[in-house]
Each structure stands twice: as structure tokens, then as C-alpha cells.
Amino acid sequence: MAASRAPGVPADAADRLARAQTELGLALDAGQGDRLLAHLALLARWNAVYNLTSVRDPAQMLVQHLFDCLAVVPVLRNPLLAGRDHLAPGAVVLDVGSGGGLPGVVLAICAPQIQVHCVDAVAKKAAFVRQVRAELGLGNLHAHHARVEQLVTQPGGPVPTAPIASGAGHLPPVTLAISRAFASLSDFISLTRHLLAGDAVWAAMKGALPESELALLPEGVRLAAAITLTVPQLDARRHLLLLEQIARDAAALNFSAPPAVATASAAPSSAAPPSS
């Protein structure tokens, strides 16, 4: 695919990606690496016309977008940190406010045996994800142009293969809902709760730990884990927050076990939110 030589991709992108994989403990094959860089090239090309992201410099996109999203992959796969492997075969992931396919496209590339549904209310962003699916041959990637509250689940139904242009879309019950710079935790949960399977988890990618948002979690939801991340080649603090529904009997007793607080790897002390 020679994506590292494509317009919009820094000349040293392949080498930097290889170093980032080593730092994160990821073992991606050459085809997956090529697809990640091809996604970056498409993002840079489309962004020049459609303004998909405020980050303009492809070298900054490499770190602030691609590496930032890659940093959650080993955590979501680690049962000791995340409770279970959330990217195991058969998982259904919903990327809310996906924008340029971040992190949805990255997850679809890194875990080809899962199904990833990217939803965005902006038509050009959903169209971009559909283009990525076509050009990169990602059959497990699905784009929805809709507001997330319009989506509905179809238990046991087939995964839709045709793009959903507008209105309400159907998808299987979601096992992991993830967002990056989308909304407050309360809004993220309330807008997606109807789509989740019973044991599903919300994963919120944040910069600094949002104490005020955590204090306003909806009833019946608790923080399961707050994981500090290090993004390769980025001097900024990142957190991945995992939230889960409390069992009805526990909620009736007003019981909530304390969340796990962990560090995926040593992180710098500066704080900055993920860029969109």
C-alpha cells in the first residue's frame, strides 16, 4: 500500500509508527500498519477540503490522532486493566461522534474480528468513514449518518452492510460504546444507554480526569476504572474511563464498589484534552 509515501503522510511515519507500537506493546502486522497510515493520508486529504479536524499538520495528526487512539487498544484488550478483553472476536463497538473515524477506524484495523459502528450527525464525516471502509477494504467498519439517539438495536439481526444515509439506523446490541472529545460523561451515557447490551461498558477518552463530570454520573452507572495512558511521542496526560451499569439489586441498596485506578504506563504530568 506504501501509505508512508502517500501525500499527507510524513516521510518518517512508518518508522515512528513502528516505535509507537513497540512502546505500547502492540503486535500489528504490516498490512495493519499500512492501513493505519492510509487512514492518516485520507484524513489529511479530506481535511484540506472538508475540515474534519482542527489539527492541520499531518505530523501532528500522526501523534495527536493516530497514536492517541492506538494507546487505548492494549488497555481495552487487557482483562487486568479493563475487566475483560473488550476487543475480543464478536464484540460490537460503537464510536460516538466519530468525526474522522477516531478511534473507530483505528479499532477496526487493529481488531478485524470485531464490528465497529461509527456514528456522526455531520454528513461529511459519515461519508469520510464510508470512503475509508471502501478504500481500505474494512468490511467490519460501518458508518451511520444520524444522531446517536436515533439509532436502535436489532437483537440477533444481521450487521448492516449498506451505508445508512440519515434517520434511524439499526445495529446489533453494543458491547462497548466509546467516545473521544464527544460530550460530558452524563450526556454520553444517556444518549447511548438504549443501545447497550446488559454487560456492556462505556469507554470515554479524556485528557485530565474530569472530576466534576464523574460527580454527575446518571443513576445506576459507576466508574469501573480510571486508567492513565501514555501516548507515544506526546507530552500530555490522557485518561481512559470505563463505566458500567450497576446491577439492579446493588443499585437498590445504593451499593457501588470503588473504581479501579491504574496506569497503563508512566505518564507525564501535563494535562491536555484530546483534539478533535
**Residues with Cβ < 8 Å from 260, sequence gap 6 or more?**
81, 224, 225, 226
pLDDT above 50 for 130? yes
| Least confident span in 74-78, 88-92, 253-257, 267-271 | 267-271
Q: What CATH number does domain 59-263 carry, 2.102.10.10, 3.40.50.150, 3.40.50.720, 3.40.190.10?
A: 3.40.50.150
Percent of the chain at pLDDT exceeding 70: 81
The alpha carbon of 162 is separated from its chain's Cα centroid by a whole number of angstroms, namely 22
**Which three cell numbers, joined as nine digits, stand for 168?**
434511524
DSSP, collapsed to helix, strand or coil, labels residue 145 as: strand
**Which three cell numbers, joined as nine digits, stand for 145?**
449518518
Amino acid sitting at position 200: A
Query: Packing angle between helix 30-50 and helix 13-24, nearest 10 degrees?
Result: 120
Residue with cell 460530550: 183
Q: What is the pTM of this model?
A: 0.87
The per-residue pLDDT for 262 is: 65
pLDDT above 90 for 73? yes
Binning pLDDT at 50, 70 and 90, where does residue 161 land? Answer: very low
Q: What is the C-alpha to C-alpha distance for residues 169 and 160, in angstroms, rounded to an integer?
A: 9
How many CA atoms are closer than 13 Å to the CA of 3, on its beta-carbon side?
24
Are the CB atoms for 258 and 69 separated by under 8 Å?
no
Torsion of CA 36, 166, 50, 93, to 10 degrees: -20
Q: What is the C-alpha to C-alpha distance for residues 107 and 116, in angstroms, rounded to an integer?
A: 7
pLDDT above 50 for 153? yes
pLDDT higher at 72 or 262: 72
The per-residue pLDDT for 31 is: 97
User: pLDDT by residue (tens digit) across 197-236?
Assistant: 999 999 999 999 999 999 999 999 999 999 999 999 999 8
pLDDT above 90 for 274? no
Q: What is the C-alpha to C-alpha distance for residues 151 and 171, in angstroms, rounded to an integer?
A: 8
pLDDT above 90 for 164? no
Average pLDDT over residues 114-131: 96
The per-residue pLDDT for 111 is: 98
pLDDT higher at 112 or 262: 112
Q: What is the C-alpha to C-alpha distance for residues 20 and 14, in angstroms, rounded to an integer?
A: 10
